[in-house]
């Protein structure tokens, strides 16, 4: 979905997965500071939106998701995963129930595969699943924002801000009165600072929830059976995940950020040292400078000095080894 807000002054289109919205509007650090101060908004209208209706919606989703949602109160935000039979992460959903419909936003372009899976699991349950991406645009208001929310708009409120499921036809009008826009790069820099993983960025084909710290926030350990639960229970009770998410402070003297996929090596092993992990997301933060999220092998010492390509990197623990 290509956002109409790309016509705003200074808008520079994002690339890759986030194509369709603005990377920034001319001043990345100003946009970050505005969000950190609780002003402005982020256009996330490229994200997929899925709606589930019907009297069985919560009980049915409870059987499929990693999160406990059978008695989810109306208006309470949560997040959940769908795992493969081997416990690998396939989908990440950011949910809220408005009393009659469960609304979820998902990564751009993943909604069709998600809906196909959900449709295959309907059986005799009284539920309807719909792709609402074409008529619903996601807008993010940062924590502390006092921007008004139009009457009737579904809101998903979290410690990091509010996600608005806005009618797509109202996007331009709402943007005109919501404050200064911030691009996806500003939003991503704050996501990295907050150590929040993102599907397709911090995940690959073999990622399990324990590696990213999604236990608790997206995975409930005391709920009933769901696909992939055996792996979750086994790692929780008997083993340890093979990798762990870390936050990295990068050497600010480098002109270029190490891109996603850049190999991490132990600094003390020299340039030919063994690979111990890789960058998943890197960003330039308005206060912290160059930072990144990365996956490293579990047995890497928490105080080990790392090198990302030619860039020195200092660890900060996200997931305990």
28-56 tens-digit pLDDT: 999 999 999 999 999 999 999 999 999 99
Q: What is the pLDDT of residues 257-271, one digit of tens each?
A: 999 999 999 998 877
Same structural domain, 70 and 126: yes
Predicted confidence at residue 71, as pLDDT, reads: 95
Q: Would you say residue 57 lies in a domain?
A: yes
Q: Are residues 101 and 171 in the same domain?
A: no
Q: Are residues 58 and 157 in the same domain?
A: no
* pLDDT for res 17: 97
Specify whether 66 is located in the same domain as 108: yes
Six token digits for residue 261: 């996929």
Same domain, yes or no: 73 and 83? yes
171 and 23 belong to one structural domain: yes
Domain end residue (candidates: 194, 213, 233): 194
> What CATH number is attached to the domain comprising 277?
2.40.30.160
Domain count, the chain: 3
Q: Is 216 inside any structural domain?
A: no
Shared domain for 143 and 269, answered yes or no, is: no
User: What percent of the chain is predicted at pLDDT more than 70?
Assistant: 99
Give the confidence band of 284 by pLDDT, cuts at 50, 70, 90.
very high
- The whole-number pLDDT of residue 254 equals 65
Mean pLDDT of the chain, nearest integer: 96
Q: Are residues 154 and 271 in the same domain?
A: no
Q: Are residues 141 and 42 in the same domain?
A: yes
């Amino acid at each position: 979905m290509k956002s109409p807000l790309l016509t705003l002054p200074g808008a520079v289109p994002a690339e890759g997965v986030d194509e369709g919205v603005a990377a920034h509007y001319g001043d990345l650090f100003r946009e970050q500071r505005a969000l950190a101060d609780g002003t402005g908004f982020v256009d996330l209208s490229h994200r997929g939106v899925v709606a589930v209706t019907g009297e069985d919606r919560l009980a049915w989703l409870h059987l499929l998701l990693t999160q406990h949602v059978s008695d989810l109160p109306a208006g309470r935000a949560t997040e959940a995963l769908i795992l493969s039979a081997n416990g690998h992460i396939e989908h990440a959903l950011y949910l809220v129930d408005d009393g009659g419909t469960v609304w979820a936003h998902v990564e751009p372009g993943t909604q069709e595969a998600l809906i196909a899976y959900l449709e295959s699991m309907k059986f005799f349950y009284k539920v309807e699943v719909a792709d609402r991406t074409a008529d619903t645009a996601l807008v993010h208001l940062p924590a502390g924002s006092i921007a008004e929310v139009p009457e009737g708009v579904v809101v998903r409120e979290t410690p990091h801000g509010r996600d608005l499921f806005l009618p797509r036809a109202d996007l331009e009008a709402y943007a005109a009165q919501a404050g200064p826009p911030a691009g996806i790069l500003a939003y991503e820099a704050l996501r990295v600072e907050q150590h929040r993983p993102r599907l397709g960025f911090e995940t690959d084909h073999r990622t399990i929830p324990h590696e990213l710290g999604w236990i608790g926030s997206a995975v409930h350990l005391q709920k009933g059976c769901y696909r992939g639960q055996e792996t979750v229970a086994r790692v929780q009770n008997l083993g340890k995940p093979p990798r762990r998410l870390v936050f990295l402070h990068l050497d600010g003297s480098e002109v270029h950020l190490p891109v996603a996929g850049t190999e991490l090596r132990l600094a003390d092993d020299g340039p030919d040292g063994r690979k111990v992990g890789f960058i998943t997301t890197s960003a330039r933060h308005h206060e912290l400078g160059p930072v990144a999220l990365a996956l490293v092998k579990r047995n890497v010492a928490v105080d080990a000095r790392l090198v990302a390509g030619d860039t020195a990197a200092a660890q900060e623990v996200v997931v305990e080894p």
